[in-house]
Amino acid sequence: MVKTQIKLVVMSILFITTFLINPSVKAQNSNRLFNKHHKWGAVTQYNIFDSANISPNNNPNVNYEIFKSKLFALGIVYNFYQYNNWNFNAELQLQWFGDMESITILEAENITSFNYVDLSNTEHDKTGYLPLTAEYIFYETGSFSFGIGAGVGLTYYWHYDISGSSSLTINDVTLFEAFEIDDYQLFYLSNHLQASVYFKREKFMLKASVVYKKSHTSFREGYYEFKNLELSPDFQGIFDQSGDFLGFSLSIYPKKYFNK
């Protein structure tokens, strides 16, 4: 994920520099965005969470993985304040995501009359997300505008059962268990960066954005244990999933049909 962050920062710097050094491009008064379109709209977003860090994971025959989580969101957005070239907005999203994990025990372990186990499991969860964003608006043509933004977000998680999130039992013998911490916070703070393009049309305006969110608190962490294997000794490890994500959002703003 460090490489992703570096790429995002580099892309943002190049994006800003391109506009600043181009004499044909000027900053746009942010109020012009909403001359013909409403300041409120609907937003949808698709996010890819970082996969979890799991330690230890150096046994070639026994493995536990938590993959990148995929998230889909629907919500509303309102651009509540414009000042010169700055636009400030707030969103309220309801987000659904799935966690996919895998438990693998290879043939060499000779487990309880089974030669191979590869179990994949998907859990579903949902969150409420409230991001506040300040963005600087650039102007290129009458049909397109560009913005670079940053902000802070507040997330509320509805966590699934944390008493024993995963387990694997064969022939009444428990081979694997994973437990999440039992003191999850209800609310999580985060920061985000985004780059956006506004597409202005006669009956609506679209906004497409690339968003990177950095969470201040892990939203999934705990420990796991493999045991009762015929060859490997029992061992424990820990897992931690940050809550950071790279997202792609699309917002639509309707036309003002009763302009004065």
Kindly state the DSSP code that residue 50 receives in the 8-state scheme: P
- DSSP E strands: which ranges in the chain? 26-27, 40-49, 53-55, 62-66, 70-83, 86-105, 117-139, 144-158, 166-170, 173-180, 187-200, 204-215, 220-226, 235-241, 245-254
Return the amino acid letter for 184.
Answer: Y
Whole-number Å distance between alpha carbons of 183 and 164: 14
pLDDT score at 192:
95
Whole-number Å distance between alpha carbons of 82 and 92: 19
Q: Judge whether residue 241 has pLDDT over 90.
A: no
Report which of residues 181 and 20 the model is more confident about: 181
DSSP 3-state of 222: strand
Report which listed range, 33-37, 158-162, 193-197, 226-230, is most confident: 193-197
Binned at pLDDT 50, 70 and 90, residue 256 comes out as: confident
Binned at pLDDT 50, 70 and 90, residue 175 comes out as: confident
With a CB cutoff of 8 Å and minimum separation 6, the contacts of 241 are 49, 50, 51, 52, 53, 66, 69, 99, 218, 219, 220, 221
Mean pLDDT taken over the chain: 80
Read off the pLDDT of residues 127-148 as tens digits, 9 standing for 90 and up.
899 999 999 987 666 788 999 9
pLDDT score at 2:
42
Whole-number Å distance between alpha carbons of 152 and 194: 11
pLDDT score at 48:
86
Q: Where are the alpha helices (DSSP H) in 102-259?
A: none
Which of these, 48, 52, 38, 37, lies nearest to 72 by C-alpha position?
48
Q: What pTM value is reported for the model?
A: 0.78
Write down all domains in the chain, each with its CATH number in brackets. Answer: 2-254 (2.40.160.20)
Q: Taking residues 233-249, what's their average pLDDT? A: 89
Read off the pLDDT of residues 12-58 as tens digits, 9 standing for 90 and up.
544 544 544 454 445 556 778 888 899 999 999 998 888 889 998 77
What is the b/e burial string over 137-162, where b = at least 16 CB atoms within 10 angstroms of the residue's CB? bbbeeeeebbbbbebebebebeeeee
- Partner residues linked to 145 by β-bridges: 139, 198
Read off the pLDDT of residues 71-116 as tens digits, 9 standing for 90 and up.
899 999 999 999 888 999 999 999 887 777 888 887 666 665 555 5
In degrees and rounded to multiples of 5, residue 136 shows phi and psi of -100, 125
- Residue pair 152/88 in contact (Cβ under 8 Å)? The answer is no
pLDDT score at 10:
47
Binned at pLDDT 50, 70 and 90, residue 232 comes out as: confident
